[in-house]
C-alpha cells in the first residue's frame, strides 16, 4: 500500500490569519471545504492543510485540543534554497515567525517557520546525492 496524499488538520485561534499564512506559502484555497469554521488550503499536489477553529477541531476528537505546546514539526520540500527563502519571507510577512536561524549544510538547506498559532514547519531544499557518505 502506498499513500498518495497527506491532509494536515490544525486547530487555530484566528481562521483568517491562518488562511493568510498558508496562502502566503503558495497555497490555494479550496472553497469546497472552506466556511466559517474551517478553511482548506492546498499546498501542493499531495499536501493539503485544513485549518479549523478550536471548537470545530474539537468535534473530531474527545481529547483536549493542544494550545501553546508543540506537538509536531511538519516539513515541506522546495525546489531550491531561493524558494525556501522566498516562502519563509512570505510566511513571516503573513503573520508567521522564524524561531531559529537558517541551517545550511551544503547538501541540505532549511529554515523553520511557525504559523500564527505556533504550528512548526521546516521548509527545506536538498540534494541527496551530495549528502556526506553517499556513494558517488
Would residue 1 count as lying in a domain? Answer: no
Residue linked to cell 513571516: 92
Is residue 14 assigned to a domain?
yes
Asked if 11 contacts 1 with a C-beta cutoff of 8 angstroms, the reply is no
Q: Round to whole Å and give the CA distance between 65 and 125.
A: 32
Give backbone dihedrals phi and psi of 104, rounded to 5 degrees, phi first: -125, 110
pLDDT 10s digits, 7-59: 999 999 999 999 999 999 999 999 999 999 999 999 999 999 999 999 999 99
In a domain, 13, yes or no: yes
Name the DSSP class of 97: B
Asked if 128 and 107 touch (Cβ cutoff 8 Å), the reply is: yes
Residue 135 lies in a domain: no
Total structural domains within the chain: 1
- What is the value of pTM for the model shown? 0.89
Give the domain CATH number at 92.
3.10.180.10
Instruction: Tell me whether strands 73-77 and 103-104 are parallel, antiparallel or unpaired.
Output: unpaired
Summarised one tens digit per residue, pLDDT across range 69-86 is 888 899 999 999 999 999
Of the candidates 46, 119, 123, the one whose C-alpha atom is nearest the C-alpha of residue 82 is 123
Residue 121 lies in a domain: yes
Residue 136 is assigned to a structural domain of this protein: no
Q: Measure Cα distances from 28 to 42, 48, 70, 120, 130 in Å.
A: 5, 9, 26, 20, 33
Res 136 pLDDT > 70: no
- Domain containing 29 equals 6-130
Whether residue 106 is contained in a domain is answered as yes
**What is the DSSP-derived secondary structure letter of residue 119?**
-
Q: Is residue 99 part of a domain?
A: yes
Amino acid at each position: 500500500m502506498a499513500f498518495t496524499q497527506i491532509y494536515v488538520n490544525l486547530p487555530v485561534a484566528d481562521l483568517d490569519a491562518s488562511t493568510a499564512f498558508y496562502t502566503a506559502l503558495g497555497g490555494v484555497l479550496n472553497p469546497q471545504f472552506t466556511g466559517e469554521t474551517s478553511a482548506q488550503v492546498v499546498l501542493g499536489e499531495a499536501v493539503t492543510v485544513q485549518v479549523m477553529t478550536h471548537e470545530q477541531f474539537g468535534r473530531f476528537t474527545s481529547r483536549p485540543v493542544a494550545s501553546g505546546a508543540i506537538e509536531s514539526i511538519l516539513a515541506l520540500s522546495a525546489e531550491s534554497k531561493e524558494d525556501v527563502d522566498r516562502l519563509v519571507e512570505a510566511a513571516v510577512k503573513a503573520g508567521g515567525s522564524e524561531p531559529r536561524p537558517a541551517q545550511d549544510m551544503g547538501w541540505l538547506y532549511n529554515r523553520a517557520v511557525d504559523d500564527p498559532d505556533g504550528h512548526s514547519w521546516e521548509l527545506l531544499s536538498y540534494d541527496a546525492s551530495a549528502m556526506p557518505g553517499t556513494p558517488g
